[in-house]
Amino acid sequence: MAHHQRVHQARSAARRKTLQILYQSEIAGLSAQQILDEELCVDEVGLPCDFTRMLLAGISEHAAEIDGLIATTSANWSIERMPLVDKSILRLAIFEMLYVSDVPHSVSINEAVELAKDFGGEDESSRFVNGVLGKISDLLVE
């Protein structure tokens, strides 16, 4: 298997872990860092890799900016009313689009849409996530 594909698969797995920890932190009312520090990750997550840790730290550090972008682009959906999974997926993808320079926006969006198909809170989750991230990508490119 080519190196590029291995990295892609490892990062896909890391994003799944990141999403599970973000979701868990929302449900438990704990920071993602507390969940990591106290090893409260749900069992199927396994040990978080460096990419997962970097994503979680960055999402936490830039939470206000990320949620601001979600609020301005998710027409008719307040962040409070959004399904937790969808909100967590958006936070993950937006952080990546803003701050992970070696991942193209298209990859971040595709990965987020796949996560929404697998874990999304609603049948429409993947379309919703795709729409919001498409708008944000356009904003960032301008």
Range of the domain at 94: 3-141
- At 142 the three-state DSSP class reads coil
**Per the structure, how many domains does the chain have?**
1
Q: What is the pLDDT along the chain (142 residues), one digit of tens a residue?
A: 677 888 888 899 999 999 999 998 999 999 988 888 877 766 555 667 789 999 999 999 999 999 999 999 887 777 778 889 999 999 999 999 999 999 999 999 999 999 999 998 778 899 999 999 999 999 988 7
CATH number at residue 52: 1.10.940.10
pTM beyond 0.75, yes or no: yes
Which two tokens mark 21? 């920890």
Instruction: Please spell the DSSP secondary structure of 96-122, one letter per residue.
Output: HHHH-TTS-HHHHHHHHHHHHHHH-SS
